[in-house]
């Protein structure tokens, strides 16, 4: 492992960890004037939320997988010179639902804390999750989306967050993102696979049941978030980027091709249906497909497709495309540490 590069007096090196239902991710970055420069960006599929929808608690195996990843991330954080006080660990959907949360929190804290600072995982509410996702996505797309009502959709393993906000210039001329109405829903690719899509490939009846529940959730979202005001849609997280890779015809996962890619809703629908109706063995052969997404990408693709069709409908056909972003809640967490907002 190479030595960490020296920091300037104006920079702050931070570590952000996003622990979701399907994966746990690490970002070590330098923050200068609200801008992130990546040092390390890692993702590990641990399926922490496996079975949570049914049992209401983390399994011993899921905790073991997650703690092993945290051990490795802790080593990377120390190697790159991040102080414990500059670590923020955020846990989302699955961690909100479980009865044995204390075991999870204690295990993570023991692995990341130092003698002079205790790192306590934050099990954040869905609204804050949505705001962090908006901040992370907007940070790199601000110029393209200036003065537009932007809906950021963070499609995860156990939940999907919707936040409608704006990107404007402040008095100094700097672009700033302002999150507005937001809602977190209990639909995600892991949760819906376990709940609905049991066959390989899924049956028409299973797909219909899942789609009906997605539409129910979207009606709920519409009562809290004025989706009809949407002028642009940005999708973040692994399901969206994987569907985008398929729509682009990529032979391997290429973040630089995926980030900021704009696709028509028709292209998203075609790619989503292809993934949804494919058998698991067929999905596994796709060069861009992470092994940890093979069994859940069908339900994730169905959610993303249905969301975009709904947005197109409620905006009377105004929204016809969606932008994919590789930057999301993980970037938002890192920015919050760098700005001292935690």
Last residue of a domain, one of 70, 102, 123: 123
Same-domain check for residues 112 and 197: no
Q: Can you give the pLDDT at residue 231? A: 95
- Provide mean pLDDT across the span 102-123: 92
185 belongs to a structural domain = yes
4 belongs to a structural domain = no
Give the C-alpha separation, 164 to 150, whole Å.
6
Global confidence as pTM: 0.82
Give the C-alpha separation, 296 to 301, whole Å.
9
Residue from 71, 94, 81 nearest 15 by CA? 81
Same-domain check for residues 163 and 99: no
Question: pLDDT category, 117, cuts 50, 70, 90?
Answer: very high
Write out the residue range of the structural domain in which residue 105 sits: 12-123
Q: Can you give the pLDDT at residue 1? A: 43
**From the CB of residue 204, how many other CB atoms can be counted at a distance below 10 Å?**
9
Q: Can you give the pLDDT at residue 2? A: 43
Give the C-alpha separation, 221 to 311, whole Å.
11
Last residue of a domain, one of 123, 145, 172: 123
Same-domain check for residues 115 and 156: no
Q: Name the DSSP class of 186.
A: S
Q: Can you give the pLDDT at residue 339? A: 76
Give the C-alpha separation, 16 to 278, whole Å.
35
- Provide mean pLDDT across the span 279-287: 96
341 belongs to a structural domain = no
Among the ranges given (22-26, 91-95, 102-106, 144-148), the one the predictor scored with the smallest mean pLDDT? 91-95
Q: Residue 83 CA to chain centroid, in angstroms?
A: 25
Residues contacting 23, CB < 8 A, separation 6+: 43, 44, 45, 46, 157, 238, 292
Q: Specify the higher pLDDT residue, 27 or 95.
A: 27
Domain at 65, CATH number: 3.30.420.40
Question: pLDDT category, 7, cuts 50, 70, 90?
Answer: very low
40: exposed, middle or buried (C-beta count within 10 Å: 0-12, 13-18, 19+)? middle
Question: pLDDT category, 142, cuts 50, 70, 90?
Answer: low
- Provide mean pLDDT across the span 96-111: 87
- Provide mean pLDDT across the span 2-18: 70
Q: What is the largest CA-CA distance in the chain?
A: 60
Same-domain check for residues 224 and 289: yes
Number of structural domains (the chain) is 2
The 10s digit of each residue's pLDDT in 218-255 is: 999 999 999 999 999 999 989 999 999 999 999 999 99
Coil, strand or helix at 91 = strand
186 belongs to a structural domain = yes
Q: Can you give the pLDDT at residue 25? A: 93
Q: Can you give the pLDDT at residue 252? A: 95
Q: Can you give the pLDDT at residue 14? A: 96
Q: Can you give the pLDDT at residue 192? A: 95
Q: Is the pLDDT of residue 106 over 50?
A: yes
5 belongs to a structural domain = no
281 belongs to a structural domain = yes
Mean pLDDT taken over the chain: 89
The 10s digit of each residue's pLDDT in 175-224 is: 677 778 999 899 999 999 999 999 999 999 999 999 999 999 999 999 99
Last residue of a domain, one of 82, 102, 123: 123
Same-domain check for residues 156 and 251: yes
Same-domain check for residues 173 and 25: no
Describe the crossing of helices 329-338 and 126-141 by its angle, rounded to 10 degrees.
90
- Provide mean pLDDT across the span 261-268: 96
Describe the crossing of helices 297-314 and 204-224 by its angle, rounded to 10 degrees.
50
Is residue 167 left, alpha or beta, with left meaning phi > 0 and alpha meaning psi from -120 to 50?
A: beta
Same-domain check for residues 171 and 31: no
Same-domain check for residues 188 and 272: yes
Q: At 114, phi and psi to the nearest 5?
A: -110, 180
Same-domain check for residues 182 and 36: no
The 10s digit of each residue's pLDDT in 48-103 is: 888 877 888 889 999 999 999 999 999 999 999 999 999 999 987 666 667 888 89
The 10s digit of each residue's pLDDT in 299-341 is: 999 999 999 999 999 999 999 999 999 888 899 999 999 876 6
Q: Can you give the pLDDT at residue 143? A: 65
Q: Can you give the pLDDT at residue 173? A: 66
342 belongs to a structural domain = no
Is residue 15 left, alpha or beta, with left meaning phi > 0 and alpha meaning psi from -120 to 50?
A: beta
Q: Can you give the pLDDT at residue 8? A: 45
């Amino acid at each position: 492992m190479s030595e960490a590069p020296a920091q300037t007096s104006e920079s702050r090196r931070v570590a952000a960890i996003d622990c979701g239902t399907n994966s746990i991710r690490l970002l070590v970055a330098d923050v200068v004037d609200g801008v992130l420069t990546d040092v390390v960006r890692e993702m590990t599929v641990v399926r922490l939320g496996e079975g949570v929808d049914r049992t209401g608690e983390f399994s011993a195996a899921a905790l073991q997988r997650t703690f092993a990843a945290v051990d490795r991330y802790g080593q990377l954080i120390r190697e790159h010179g991040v102080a414990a006080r500059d670590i923020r660990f955020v846990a989302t959907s699955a961690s909100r639902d479980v009865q044995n949360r204390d075991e999870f929190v204690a295990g993570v804290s023991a692995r990341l804390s130092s003698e002079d600072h205790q790192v306590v995982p934050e099990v954040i509410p869905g609204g804050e999750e949505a705001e962090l996702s908006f901040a992370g996505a907007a940070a790199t797309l601000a110029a393209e989306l200036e003065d537009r009502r932007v809906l950021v959709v963070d499609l995860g393993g156990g939940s999907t967050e919707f936040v409608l906000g704006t990107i404007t210039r402040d008095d100094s001329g700097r672009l700033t993102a302002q999150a507005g109405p937001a809602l977190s829903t209990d639909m995600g690719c892991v949760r819906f696979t376990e709940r609905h899509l049991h066959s390989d490939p899924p049956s028409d009846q299973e797909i219909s049941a899942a789609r009906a529940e997605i539409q129910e959730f979207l009606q709920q979202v519409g009562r809290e978030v004025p989706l009809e005001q949407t002028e642009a849609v940005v999708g973040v997280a692994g399901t969206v980027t994987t569907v985008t890779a398929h729509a682009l015809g990529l032979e391997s996962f290429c973040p630089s091709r995926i980030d900021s890619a704009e696709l028509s809703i028709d292209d998203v629908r075609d790619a989503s249906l292809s993934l949804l109706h494919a058998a698991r063995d067929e999905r596994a052969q796709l060069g861009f497909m992470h092994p940890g997404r093979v069994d859940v990408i069908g339900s994730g693709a169905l959610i993303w497709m249905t969301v975009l069709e709904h947005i197109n409908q409620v905006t009377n056909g105004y929204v016809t495309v969606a932008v994919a972003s590789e930057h999301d809640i993980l970037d938002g967490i890192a920015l919050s540490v760098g700005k001292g907002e935690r």
